[in-house]
Amino acid sequence: MKFWINTISKNHVLKGVEGGFTQADHGKNTRLKALAKGDYIIFYSPKTEYKGAIALQAFTAVGRIADEIPYQASMTPDFHPWRREVSFIKATETPIRDLIESLNFIKDKKYWGYPFRRGLFEVQEADFIVIANAMNIHIDRS
C-alpha cells in the first residue's frame, strides 16, 4: 500500500468525487500507472478553479484507488483523458498552513508549495497520516 497526493483545483476534485475518479497530468496516464488498487490518495487544491485566481491552499478530498489499471474516458471528440477509479472517504477540507511544519516531504518550509508542482506524487505514510488526521479520517490498513 502506497500513499499519494494529487494536486488538482477544487472544482476538478469535486467533479472526480461526483464521478468516482481521478485524473493527473492533464489526462495523461504516465503516473496513474504507478497507483495500485488499495492505495490512498489525498487531493491538494492550490486554487478553487483550474484557471481561476482564487487561492485555496487546502487538502480537499481523500480516497482509495478502486481499480487495477487506468482507463480512458471520452469527454470531447478531441479529449480522452486517462483516469483511475477512486472510492472517496468523507473528510473535512483542511488548509495546509497549519501542517507545513509537520510534513517531511516539504523540505524547504519557506518554499512549501514547490512539491505540489509535480502534480501526482508519492509521500511517506507518516506524512499522509498527519494530513488524514487533520482531515478527520482514519486510515484502514486492510
pLDDT score at 64 = 97
Neighbour count for residue 134 (Cβ, 10 Å): 17
Task: Output b/e per residue, 44-67; b: 16+ Cβ within 10 A.
Answer: bbbbbeeeeeeebebbbbbbbbeb
Q: What is the CATH number of the domain that holds 97?
A: 3.10.590.10
pLDDT score at 139 = 82
Per-residue pLDDT tens, the chain, 142 aa: give them.
Answer: 999 999 999 999 999 999 999 999 877 778 899 999 999 999 999 999 888 778 999 999 999 999 999 999 888 888 889 999 999 999 999 999 999 999 999 999 999 999 999 899 999 999 999 999 999 998 877 6
Is there a domain that residue 140 lies in?
Answer: no
pLDDT score at 122 = 97
Is there a domain that residue 139 lies in?
Answer: no
Full DSSP string of 57-98? EEEEEEEEE-SSS-EE--SBTTB--EEEEEEEE----EESGG
Is there a domain that residue 141 lies in?
Answer: no
pLDDT score at 53 = 75
Please give the residue range of the domain that contains residue 53: 3-134
Is there a domain that residue 66 lies in?
Answer: yes
Q: The pTM is what?
A: 0.93
Is residue 64 within 8 A of residue 21, CB to CB? The reply is no
Is residue 8 within 8 A of residue 43, CB to CB? The reply is yes
Neighbour count for residue 101 (Cβ, 10 Å): 9
How many separate domains does the chain show?
1
